[in-house]
């Protein structure tokens, strides 16, 4: 594992291990984060640990045109019981992602340092949120990073059943309209697989990423 310093650089992810970090250390400055994502690298670590940088192999992704929506979720979407917004309350969404308890998880990897870093990325127009409201109350949402034709999903939450699923479907439909190439789901999960996400090799992911980064980044606040 490579130890990073104040200089902004990363080892080549093509040659990185597939199941443990490729680098440790450095910081979460906007410049380093944007550079990391452009290389297919992301930070993931627990509070009290140094920053750990990952580029897993295989990589789970969703091609927007392959989105699968269950029959039950289609019924919920058709009822329009939720109000959907983009980029109206990023800071609250990321804090809810950090604080809302998840089944089978004892803590969160979204540390105060991460919240500060991604909130700054949002201010700069690279990190985005989807908010789901019910009767005026924020009940679900997600956030991630956008570069070129790729959306890098980070985390989602819900306090009402299906609210985060509704957020995700609305995100994917928006990305379809904008001709995005793929959504990076990072780690393989049954939840994302049900939406149509698939595992691809890291090599294929990095090849697709390089092509997608040739597209202009849709920065600034999304509407």
Please report, for residues 10, 16, 22, 51, the alpha-carbon distance to residue 26 in angstroms, rounded to integers and kept in the order given. Answer: 10, 17, 13, 7
User: Fold identical between 2-56 and 60-212?
Assistant: no
Give me the pLDDT at residue 105, please. 55
Question: Distance between CA 70 and CA 57 in Å, rounded?
Answer: 28
pLDDT at 97 over 70: yes
Q: Which CATH number fits domain 2-56: 3.30.70.3550, 1.10.10.60, 3.40.630.30, 3.30.70.3270?
A: 3.30.70.3550
For residue range 101-145, list pLDDT tens digits in order.
Answer: 876 555 578 999 999 999 999 999 999 999 999 999 999 999 999
Say which residue, 37 or 223, is predicted with more confidence: 37
Question: Mean pLDDT, the chain, as a whole number?
Answer: 95
pLDDT at 92 over 60: yes
pLDDT tens for residues 186-219? 989 999 999 999 999 999 999 999 999 999 999 9
Residue 55: pLDDT band (50, 70, 90) is: very high
User: What CATH number has the domain spanning 60-212?
Assistant: 3.40.630.70
**The pLDDT value given to residue 101:** 81
The domain locations on the chain are 2-56, 60-212
Which residue spans within 117-162 are E strands per DSSP?
127-134, 137-147, 150-158
List Cβ<8 Å contacts ≥24 apart for 216-221: 216/148, 217/126, 217/146, 217/147, 217/148, 218/146, 218/178, 219/124, 219/125, 219/126, 219/146, 220/125, 221/86, 221/87, 221/125
């Amino acid at each position: 594992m490579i130890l990073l310093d104040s200089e902004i650089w990363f080892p080549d992810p093509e040659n990185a291990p597939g199941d443990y970090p490729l680098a440790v250390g450095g910081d979460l400055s906007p410049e380093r984060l944007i550079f990391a994502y452009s290389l297919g690298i992301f930070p993931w670590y627990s509070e009290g640990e140094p920053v750990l940088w990952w580029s897993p192999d295989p990589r789970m992704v969703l091609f927007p045109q392959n989105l699968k929506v269950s029959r039950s979720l289609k019924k919920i979407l058709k009822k329009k019981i939720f109000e959907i917004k983009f980029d109206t309350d990023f800071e609250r969404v990321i804090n809810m992602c950090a604080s809302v308890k998840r089944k089978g998880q004892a803590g969160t990897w979204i540390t105060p340092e991460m919240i500060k870093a991604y909130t700054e990325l949002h201010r700069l127009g690279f990190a985005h949120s989807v908010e789901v409201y019910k009767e005026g109350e924020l009940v679900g949402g997600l956030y991630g990073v956008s570069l070129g034709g790729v959306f890098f999903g980070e985390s989602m939450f819900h306090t009402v059943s299906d609210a985060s699923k509704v957020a995700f479907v609305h995100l994917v439909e928006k990305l379809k309209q904008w001709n995005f190439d793929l959504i990076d789901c990072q780690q393989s999960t049954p939840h994302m697989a049900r939406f149509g996400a698939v595992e691809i090799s890291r090599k294929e992911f990095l090849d697709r990423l390089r092509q997608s980064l040739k597209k202009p980044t849709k920065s600034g606040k999304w509407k």
